[in-house]
């Protein structure tokens, strides 16, 4: 239910579970395994996540799985969500969510686990779990406030509000909005731009940025300097500086 294409140094992952690209334990485990494999592939520098079809990015989990109140089934889904989206969040390169349609519940949480989000003009986003007696268990309550602030997070989660693409752009939930026909090309362009940078530098910077959410500023500054010095143990540090001085494109070795 997750299609994978390698396009140059970009991995294109497409959620493909018609009609609404909903999540199952199998598709979540497939996503986690794919991302873990991509982390070990030096040829891959970035990934793009999108949905198959015209209407849905992803509508979240299959609600029928929770209809009988089976806690064992719920636990399996929660664990699968955690593994998949934590793998996505800690992917060593840039991840871009190309939100091509409805992104609801676990669909929006998949986008929240990515580094960047761009949306088609007709995209709709929301976290409606409380309407059916559930709650976002795949990072929604934790990641959304960092992006949009506590009040907007509460409006989406506690009030069940849905946002169109323009509203999502206004509050900082997405970075860009564009016609659907241009969406994937733009996402790939962003992914390719990150792929031209040093893989080691990108990975170190991403870790520092994300750790800033929970670390005191003074501790973060120390970690930042330590990470800067660690780059001097790599071949890419010398390659990047010398390529700039010699007015040529660097050849990254990812080591």
Catalytic, out of 54, 62, 121, 129: 129
What is d(CA 237, CA 252) in angstroms, rounded to the nearest whole number?
Answer: 9
Verify whether residue 129 is a known catalytic residue. Answer: yes
Active-site residue, from 109, 161, 176, 239: 109
Query: Residue 164 and residue 179: Cα distance in Å, rounded?
Result: 13
Instruction: Give the ranges where the chain is alpha helix by DSSP (H).
Output: 25-39, 71-89, 106-112, 140-148, 150-157, 165-171, 180-195, 199-211, 217-230, 235-245
Both tokens of 124, joined, read 């709709």
Neighbours of 116 (CB within 10 A): 19
The neighbouring-strand residues paired with 114 are none
How many whole angstroms separate alpha carbon 243 and alpha carbon 19? 49
Identify whether 109 is a catalytic site residue. yes
Residues noted as catalytic: 109, 129
């Amino acid at each position: 239910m997750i299609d994978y294409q390698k396009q140059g140094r970009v991995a294109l992952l497409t959620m493909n579970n018609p009609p609404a690209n909903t999540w199952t334990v199998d598709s979540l485990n497939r996503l986690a395994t794919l991302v873990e494999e991509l982390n070990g592939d030096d040829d891959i520098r970035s990934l793009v996540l999108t949905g198959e079809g015209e209407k849905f990015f992803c509508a979240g989990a299959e609600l029928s799985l929770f209809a009988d109140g089976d806690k064992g089934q719920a636990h399996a889904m929660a664990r699968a969500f955690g593994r998949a989206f934590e793998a996505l969040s800690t992917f060593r390169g840039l991840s871009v969510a190309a939100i091509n349609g409805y992104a609801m519940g676990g669909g929006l949480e998949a986008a929240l686990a990515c580094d960047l989000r761009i949306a088609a003009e007709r995209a709709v986003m929301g976290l409606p779990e409380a309407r059916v007696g559930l709650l976002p268990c795949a990072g929604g309550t934790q990641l959304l406030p960092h992006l949009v602030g506590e009040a907007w997070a509460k409006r989406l989660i506690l009030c069940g509000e849905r946002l169109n693409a323009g509203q999502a752009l206004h509050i900082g939930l997405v970075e860009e909005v564009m016609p659907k026909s241009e969406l994937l090309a733009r996402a790939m362009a962003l992914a390719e731009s990150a792929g031209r940078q040093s893989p080691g530098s990108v990975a170190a910077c991403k870790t520092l940025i994300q750790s800033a959410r929970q670390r005191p500023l003074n501790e973060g500054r120390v970690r930042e300097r330590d990470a800067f010095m660690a780059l001097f143990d790599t071949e890419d540090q010398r390659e990047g500086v010398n390529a700039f001085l010699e007015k040529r494109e660097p050849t990254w070795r990812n080591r």
